[in-house]
Structure 1
Amino acid sequence: MPRLPRTLVAAALAAVTGLALSGCGGGGSPTVSKQSGQPTAGSGAFPVTVTHAQGTVTVPSKPERVVVLGFADAQIAAALDAPVVGAARNTSSPDGNWPGVKPAFASDIVTLDSLNPNLEKIAALDPDLILMTTAQPAFGNAYDKLSEFAPVISYKEKLLHDSGDELTTLIGAALGKKEKAAELIASSRAALAGFAKEHPGLKGKEYAFGQQYDGTVYAVVAPGGPTVAFFGALGMRLPKELAALPVTLGGSTAIAPERLDLLDSADVAFFGVYGAKERGAFVKRPLVSGLDLTKSGNLNFLEINEAAMLLGPNPAVTGELLARLGPALKKIAS
């Protein structure tokens, strides 16, 4: 089996890995029980009980040593001023930080492998809370072992299918920052609503989002996924031609070369690529070069870290996403 790429976007979209992200699992530990429901928390009071897809955990006291293992975990934790002592490293970024982590973590914090859990290194950080709502599948599979070190907060329903608001609520509850999380969510929603109001021409417009990786074009088409929710908040939708495609790895689907004409069902498209060479290879595909999207300039390319934000949009990165996508969205709204 090929080695998983070291960026989350590639890991989520590249079917060649043979890993189904929805297959992440984990049993219970002596302090975890399989239950359903919503996170519960008082106004910053502890203990706090949080329920997620892999169990129900109790955080006994205010966390002082937080480890973050996924990109959204890092973004949301930073926005909520969590006391982070260790973070999974983004190897495509010079400083190791994931895009949208503000304030950025210091270089001595972003030292953990983002692909596979180094249990010894994580344990040495002496965490009192571990966040992995958007971590790689190997971390979900190591849930039981990680739970021996500290309470672990995993994805709410399914990896890369939860909305950013839901993840912010989960993480805010675990940190004892429920109100601050609610404020972050409210601010994000206001920004999205404001952009939509300022550009009413977006209502009803259709989009495509995905990535070209290793010669294959992937589109994110999960109907209930966070990307759909982000564009939906702007009044946009996924074209029915793309929505009808089978959802596979990470909420995505591979589009056969002879069916790239399906992209023209969208008014605007955003695709993550690894540099100018990959971008050139994408545009030179016969069906792509002939697309109305290409001819009109509405086929847009994202640097891979920007694509990571759009794969898992959450309230901590709403402003950055609107700033990056804004010019292309304003163009089709006019």
Structure 2
Amino acid sequence: MTPRPLIPALALALALALAGCGAPSSGTASSAGSAPAASGPPSAEGFPVTVTHGLGTTTIPHKPRRVVALGFADAQIAAALDAPVVGVARNPSAKDGNWPGVTPPYPAALQSLDSLTPNLERVAALKPDLILMTTAQPAFGSAYARLSTIAPVIPYKNELLQDSGDDLTLMIGQALGESAKATELVARSRERLAAFAAEHPTLKGKKYVFGQQYSGNIYIVAAPDGPSAAFFSALGMKQPDELAALPVQQGGAGQLSEERLDLLDTADVGFFGVYTDKERAEFEGRPLASSLDLVKKGNLHYVTLDDASLLLGPNPAVTETLLERLRPALEKIAR
């Protein structure tokens, strides 16, 4: 059977299934110093630069002029920083191939890469001098050493899908030689979050839940220090203690048994990824699901794959997009 396409929201389930096999161990991590010597332009001021990340360090000899973006946040942040992108992994759930919040959108000609499976020959053919994969699928982490022979690579900072969006923006900005732009982008994002919270002061103390159903199992993004939690915290919101206490596995998710669906009612609002009619019918057919106050009050919101990716990996490049998509649900509980 052909595997179902997995974009960031569903990467949680994939990561759980792989049980940590998606990235090389620290023993195999290497510096991108093994990449071929670039025959690019003379080094700009501030270069070479060395970036420390979750798989070691990467040295970038000159200001990048040909950037490849393999993860959804990489595409979003690179666009916001006006990076010279020559190739980007396509969003399989979008008709135009762009990830949500990418501004300006990438033309179809640049969307030449698969977002699920590394194609090293195609990446190499783009002749990149920097490869961004901070939020790329786990298969790209496994190919880190081989990708590093093509060009300097920037993977996740600490843990896949658990890095702060601010941190990723600053790290990518450093790699691009655009630290000032990155710092400004982070500042604007924080100001926008603070303004939204000020406009909706009754959100303070409200509780949220973000999860998904996948292959019959229910996962809650429960990591208390993860990027989703940080986003809602900036609005004054928090996870219910009962859900935050779930054992967190790789990807920042904890599995919720069907018998404990009642815990969803500890939240004031829920955002739930159920991506097919069959899965939605299966979820709503669970006896406890239909009796939830969250459902009866209309505060359990089914989200699309794109919205789930924004919630899973919020970053300064998409703050405005995410706030506007969540605005109706948040304003409802803020009344």
Give the structure-1-normalised TM-score. Answer: 0.92
Alignment map for 1:1-334 (pairs within 5 Å): 3=3, 5-14=5-14, 17-20=17-20, 23-25=23-25, 26-29=28-31, 31=33, 45-334=46-335
Shift of 1:13: 3.1
Deviations along 1:182-232, one digit per CA (max 9) or x if unpaired, are: 111011101100011111111111110011122222110011100000000
Checking the alignment, whether the CA contact within 8 Å between 1:204 and 1:236 is kept in structure 2 is yes
**Stretches of structure 1 lacking an aligned partner (at least 5 in a row):** 33-42
Q: Using the TM superposition, give the Cα deviation of residue 312 of structure 1 relative to its aligned residue in structure 2, in angstroms.
A: 0.3
Q: Residues 24 and 137 of structure 1 are in contact (CA less than 8 Å); yes or no, is this contact kept in structure 2?
A: no
Change (3 A) 1:24 1:98: farther
Q: How far is the alpha carbon of 1:16 from its aligned partner?
A: 6.7
Q: Aligned partners of 1:29 and 1:191: how far apart in 2?
A: 36
Q: CA deviation at 1:21?
A: 7.0
Distance 1:47-1:70 versus aligned 2 partners, 3 A rule:
same
| Contact 1:22 1:158 survives alignment (8 Å) | no
1:3 CA displacement: 4.1
Moved more, 20-29 or 130-139: 20-29
**SS of residue paired to 2:260:** helix
After TM superposition, give the deviation of residue 290 of structure 1 in Å: 0.5
For the structure 1 residues 152 and 274, does the alpha-carbon distance in structure 2 shift closer, same or farther, using more than 3 Å as the test? same
Q: What secondary structure is seen at the aligned counterpart in 2 of 1:108?
A: helix
Secondary structure at the counterpart of residue 86 of structure 1:
strand
TM-fit CA distance, 1:2: 9.0
Aligned residue in 1 for 2:39: none
Deviation at 1:45, TM superposition (A): 2.8
Q: Secondary structure at the match of 1:96?
A: coil
TM-score by length of 2: 0.92
1:72 to 1:21, Cα distance in 2 relative to 1, 3 A: farther
Q: Indicate the residue corresponding to 2:40 in structure 1.
A: none
Q: Contact 1:14–1:218 at 8 Å: present in 2 too?
A: no
| Paired amino acid for 1:27 | A
The amino acid that maps onto 1:266 is: A
Which ranges in structure 2 are unaligned for 5 or more consecutive residues?
A: 35-43
Structure 2 CA distance for aligned equivalents of residues 56 and 14 of structure 1: 26
Query: How big is the shift at 1:276?
Result: 4.2
Deviation at 1:18, TM superposition (A): 3.0
- Between the aligned partners of 1:276 and 1:144, the Cα distance in structure 2 is 40
Change (3 A) 1:30 1:45: closer
Change (3 A) 1:321 1:127: same
Native 8 Å contact 1:54 1:154 kept in 2: yes
Compute the displacement of 1:19 (Å).
Answer: 4.0
Counterpart-to-counterpart distance in 2, 1:2 and 1:121? 22
Q: Give the % identical residues.
A: 61
Size of the alignment, in residue pairs? 325
* RMSD of aligned alpha carbons: 2.1
Contact 1:209 1:270 in 2 (8 A): yes
